[in-house]
Amino acid sequence: MDITINASFLPHLDAEKSLAFYRDVLGFEVRKDVGYQEMRWITVGPAGQPDTSIVLHPPAVDPGIGEEERAAVLQLMAKGSYGGIVLATADVDAAFAEIEAKGADVVQEPIDQPYGIRDCAFRDPAGNMVRLQQAA
């Protein structure tokens, strides 16, 4: 069986701020930018990796989600505990310095974790955790 990751989904609260983070801070390409009424879905991904994408989407817009569930999602997002993604780079320290210099919300500076990786962490404008680890 040959299975790959095509797209992951992260919610956004402000499409323009999220777009600026993933495009201007992380350097991702914009693949699609789709709007419907007041909602917007933006697909971004790393240059040179056209088969791997992140879809930034409006949170809790599924018609099957009730108001109570929608409120719970928004509360979790406000705490920064709803969505997240782990990215990798060849030089986590250099990438951290560049991302920090561009004004990203730093959660953790680069450290060697007890489970064998070196990583750091940021929050995107919606509060999603973005962990960046040293590529093996």
Model confidence pLDDT, tens digit, residues 67-89: 999 899 989 988 888 999 999 99
What does the pLDDT read at residue 26? 97
pLDDT digits (tens, 9 = 90+) for 34-52: 988 888 999 999 999 999 9
133 CB neighbour count, 10 Å cutoff? 17
Q: Are 119 and 135 in contact (CB under 8 A)?
A: no
What is the number of domains present in the chain?
Answer: 1
How far is the C-alpha of 75 from the C-alpha of 41, rounded, in Å? Answer: 21
20 within domain boundaries: yes
Query: Rounded mean pLDDT of the chain?
Result: 94
38 within domain boundaries: yes
Instruction: Please report, for the domain that includes residue 80, its CATH number.
Output: 3.10.180.10
What does the pLDDT read at residue 101? 98
Please report, in angstroms and rounded to a whole number, the separation of the first and last CA atoms in the chain: 24
1 within domain boundaries: no
19 within domain boundaries: yes
What does the pLDDT read at residue 29? 97
Q: Which domain holds residue 91?
A: 7-134
